[in-house]
Amino acid sequence: MSVITNNIKWIMLVSGIITCSMVFAVIAPDAALKNTFGASMEGPLVEIVVRSWGSLITLVGGMLIYGAYHTVHRRLILTVAAIGKLFFVGLILVYGSAFLDKAMLTIVFDTAVAALYIVYLFSPTKAKD
């Protein structure tokens, strides 16, 4: 556990940068859907929803980067990020079995970093950086 608490800054930075890569969905929603799920959708509503989805994920990534340097906000940021990532994984597992193969990397990444965040949140000692 101390390995996680001592390195939470770097965990947040790396996972935040990777999470920010979903800005791709804001710029190219169809390509992001194909890359993440192996499928695409059409219509103006998709443009709105996927771009919004991408922007919110990117904002969480930005918050993770911010929280790496501002310890006072870490608990809130890690809580929001863990809940969001686990909710997404749950939705894929419950409703998205057709997309499991293509989304597996995202599922593994989101589950792993959410687990690290949760371990940090429930650890008795926090990093002092």
Structure tokens at 109: 């990444």
> Stretch 17-43: mean pLDDT, rounded?
94
Burial 94-108 (b: 16+ CB within 10 A, else e): eebeebeeebeebbe
pTM for the complete prediction? 0.92
**Residue spans per domain, the chain:** 2-122
Q: Sorting pLDDT into bands at 50, 70 and 90, what band is 128?
A: low
Mean pLDDT of the chain, nearest integer: 94
